[in-house]
Structure 1
């Protein structure tokens, strides 16, 4: 069986998109997802995205499943949500494991209503109760992070120079710390101007990434809660800029580019 795919990216955070809304796909497994994501022997991507019909009882138009580079299925991916909006071609409500989000394509990209962030320790989740606004923990020079769940868990560290942090070394330590029972995405951010943040992200199950949409959302709202920025924030990642708007009701809207790289097909049995 041959399966068609679309390769897309948002600010260099790249995806293999499989559309099973019209014709059902074979069952996806972590092993197949990992094999397809491999950059040497597969198609290669940070995340594999599977689109499926929504459940009859769901308010969503369709469902998006997200598999990280290591094959693990996760709750949310902001950059992929913009790519899905572009692929779908019109406004839609999309069911994810982290909840229903709203996407709206625009010229060269999309806006995504990412919902309301959660700050309760057990919603992150953490292994035990603590203040999530400035957690009394640290790893070397990275201390007192904010913890935010924006569909998936994030720890946000504010530092003087985000580029100077050895995130390739500290990222996996923090991601897999027992404090985070579902692991965690690790963000290091610097304030570089009025309502302007510089951000680097170690993404759980992926590693260093050129862009992370949920990381940008989590960092912007954490910075707002600390009084570092206002409600409309530019977040500069290695791959480019995202605009994060925080409503009076605390709902987060992310706006930024997405692009199609190429299309192709593969034999399912080669990766099963």
Structure 2
């Protein structure tokens, strides 16, 4: 972290209650590191967030994004934060579409009308080494009780299809699966049931964050896993604790469409 920065401007945003702190480092020296992310993530002594996103300059896209989880670890993808920042950059530039560079690749985003923002999260990966898993196995039916499905959206996901997602003890089962030895980089965990035609009810335990009201990359992973299992078609509505989001499994990638909110701006004062 740049120790000369004593005040760090930030924005608080959320997508369906999945909340973020966003720091704009474009044209500035780096200000964010893992220790700062952990301090700001504290919901009692800091700002509080599920993920922190850093905006940086990019020669390949409109902006480059770097993501920290609440525990200070990195994530290559964060779908709802990407949508929130895309909406911000579109408002800033007057464009109706933008490109955002992430460790998962360059993602296209666009104004979907009605105040909604869509982002193409790229293609899901289902090869065991791409997720990654600790050993070769069938990613559609993992050798774990409940035979969940593993998917990568730039970060690992483990999706359990259950009778009633509401009945799952998420705070107990989530961390157990996050740290399962089959996932050397830990994993995001979802419990989901079919709630209607092309409609899924999902609850989420996020790697490095815990229970969250929503998760964009998890929504994409679950929709793709359910499609692989023949439970839904290519256009899926997911009902999350924070609201509904739309997923479309298209030829050019998985598109996610939903609302965003820019809640407030603030300044983090670094102790001298």
TM over 0.5: yes
Which of 249, 254, 263 does residue 252 from structure 1 map onto? Answer: 254
SS at match of 2:71: coil
SS at match of 1:31: helix
**Which residue of 1 is the match for residue 206 of structure 2?**
203
Q: Could you tell me how far apart the structure 1 residues matched to 2:102 and 2:11 are?
A: 19
**Which residue of 1 is the match for residue 17 of structure 2?**
12
Check the 8 A contact 1:149/1:218 in 2, yes or no: yes
Q: Could you tell me how far apart the structure 1 residues matched to 2:222 and 2:236 are?
A: 10
Asked if 1:173 corresponds to 2:176, the answer is yes
Asked if 1:154 corresponds to 2:141, the answer is no
Deviation of 1:185 after TM superposition, in Å, equals: 0.3
Q: Could you tell me how far apart the structure 2 residues matched to 1:45 and 1:124 are?
A: 25
Judged with a 3 Å threshold, the aligned counterparts in structure 2 of structure 1 residues 25 and 43 are, in CA distance, closer, same or farther, namely farther
SS at match of 1:40: coil
Deviations 1:166-211 (A, max 9, x none): 1110110110111101100001100010000000010000001000
Asked if 1:39 corresponds to 2:43, the answer is yes
TM-score between both structures, scaled by the size of structure 1: 0.93
Check the 8 A contact 2:10/2:22 in 1, yes or no: yes
Deviation of 1:68 after TM superposition, in Å, equals: 0.7
SS at match of 1:24: coil
Structure 1 residues not aligned, in runs of 5+? none
> How many residue pairs were aligned?
261
SS at match of 1:28: coil
SS at match of 1:85: helix
Check the 8 A contact 1:82/1:105 in 2, yes or no: no
**Which residue of 1 is the match for residue 107 of structure 2?**
101
Which of 24, 29, 50 does residue 28 from structure 2 map onto? Answer: 24
Q: RMSD of aligned C-alpha atoms?
A: 1.3
Check the 8 A contact 2:8/2:31 in 1, yes or no: no
